[in-house]
Every structure is written in structure tokens, then in C-alpha cells.
Amino acid sequence: MNLNEENQAIKENISIKINFVDCLDEELKEYFRKRLIRPSQVKKEWMSESDEQKIIYHCIPVATASQTGWEILSPYELIINWNGGKSLKDLSIVDITSKSPEYKSIKKWSPSRIMASVESHFPVGILTFRLPFVIETPPGWGLWVAGPANTWIDGLAPIEAIVETNWLPFTFTFNWKVTAPNKNIKIPLHFPIGRIIPFPLNLNEKTNIVTQEMTSNDKLHKKFKEYASSRVEHIQNINKKQFKVQKFYKNGTDASGCPYKGFHKLFYKFKNIK
């Protein structure tokens, strides 16, 4: 698929290297590769149940965010509880089990061997997952570390971070803030406990915000008014149960169907992890 050259900010492919720590044997490493690391998924249960037409899947920006990056999955079903206190001991692991079919072959390893650690690492109701590998990114690239896109657990909120994995020689953590004290919160088996997204480390240094009146750009102003009129009619049709997908954004066209020069057709080429 050919992309407009002007929209290819990244000119060459980059590789993210996952280096497993020494304590993991080959069976456990293979378990991670096949079952616990995957491309971020576009399919979400709540999106599939939204309505008969599954309208939300037609929102390209939402679908794009959902499948950006890589997810690390939990090999365990966890139940945690935070009593609202400020010490590390105020967050407890009520139960930790595995219902995974592979568990019968790895049950000799404790939770600390598989996930390296599931614990309260910071005070004030923070659940921490320490990972058994060091991640390397190319020069100038780090990782945006976050929770899974458009997915949540009631009572938990992911804490986001930017990690300079271009030089980092040690592991980092995924962290979640408990927002519902005195409640047993379940984290299902194979729930995405974290997501990693390649991130240019100098993005903030190279980005500025400039404000201006839309009327200063006649072409943009005209296109916006055409789109706004079309959008009002589209929303009215949805309310009347006369749903029809508008493909302006998906196809990179204006309201009259003319293509935009700067359109970047998104192309995902996720491959199996080697």
C-alpha cells in the first residue's frame, strides 16, 4: 500500500527488543511469547454490544487507538482490595489463581516467577506489576506506557508513563490506581495489564500550539461548513434509526467526495512475535 510521502514522519521500520531476565527458562519464555504478548486489539466487548450496527467500530479514530501498540496480558486471575489507607500494606491480594490451560505445565512457578511481582509497590492504593524483561528501543525512541485503549475495570485506573527504553538497562512497571476502596476488584485472566507504544522522545520539544481564526483560512473554512452541514443531517438520520456510515474520514475525502492530498491510509502490519 502506497502512502503519501509527506505523511510518513517515520521513514524506516523500528524494532522493539524484549530481553527476558535470566531466571526464566525456555518453557516460560515461550509462554510469554505465545500467550502474554500481543498486538493491541480493536475488538471490545462493550463496542460489540453497543447496537445492532456496532456504530462505534465505524469510528476510525477510536478503532485506530484500540489497535495501536502492544499489550502485556496477565497470566493470573487476581482479586485485590484496598482499604483506603496510605501504607503499602493497605492494598492486599485477596486471591491469585490461574485458569489458563497452560497453567498445568507451569504451576511449579509461583506468581512472582511468572509476573516477577504483583504487589503494592507505591502507597495510596497503587497496584504494581513488575515485568520479567528489559525492553530496548532504537536511539531517540522510548515507550509510552499505558493501560489498554478503550478498556477498563470498574475501580481501577491505569497510570501512564513515558520510559526512556533507548538506554534503560533495567525493568519498569505497570501501575494501576485503585479508585474504589473497600471493594474486591477482579482482574480477569489474560486481561491487558499494560500497553507499550513506541514514542519519539523529543516530541514535546518539537511541538508547538498556534491558535488562529478559521476565517483566516478560506479553503479550510469552506470545507468545514460543508462537512458541518453534512454531519448535522447524518446525526439526524442516526436518531431516526436510518444509519449509514459516513466515510469522509475513512477514505480521506471532503463532504463532496474529493480526496485530500494529505490523507494517510492507515496500514497495520503486526506480525507474530519471534
19 and 116 co-located in one domain: yes
Establish if 103 belongs to a structural domain. yes
Q: List, in sequence order, every beta strand (DSSP E) within 63-110.
A: 70-73, 77-82, 91-97
155 and 216 co-located in one domain: no
Give the CATH number for residue 44: 2.70.40.10
- What's the Cα-to-Cα distance from 165 to each of 10, 68, 136, 173, 271, rounded to whole Å? 18, 18, 5, 12, 22
141 and 241 co-located in one domain: no
Task: Give the residue from 202, 235, 250 where a domain finishes.
Answer: 202
Ranges 99-108, 140-149, 214-223: which has the least confidence = 99-108
Task: Give the residue from 202, 222, 257 where a domain finishes.
Answer: 202
73 and 158 co-located in one domain: yes
Q: List, for residues 192-203, the tens digit of each pLDDT value.
A: 999 999 999 999
For residues 87 and 119, the answer to whether their CB atoms sit within 8 Å is no
Alpha-carbon torsion 209, 210, 215, 216, what sign? negative
Establish if 44 belongs to a structural domain. yes
74 and 114 co-located in one domain: yes
Q: Is 111 exposed, middle or buried (0-12, 13-18, 19+ CB in 10 A)?
A: middle
Show the cell assigned to 206: 518539537
| Containing structural domain, residue 192 | 13-202
169 and 49 co-located in one domain: yes
65 and 90 co-located in one domain: yes
194 and 230 co-located in one domain: no
Look at the chain and report how many structural domains it folds into: 2
Q: List, for residues 131-160, the tens digit of each pLDDT value.
A: 888 999 999 999 999 999 999 999 999 999
For residues 140 and 152, the answer to whether their CB atoms sit within 8 Å is no
Single pTM value for the model: 0.81
pLDDT given at position 174: 93
174 and 226 co-located in one domain: no
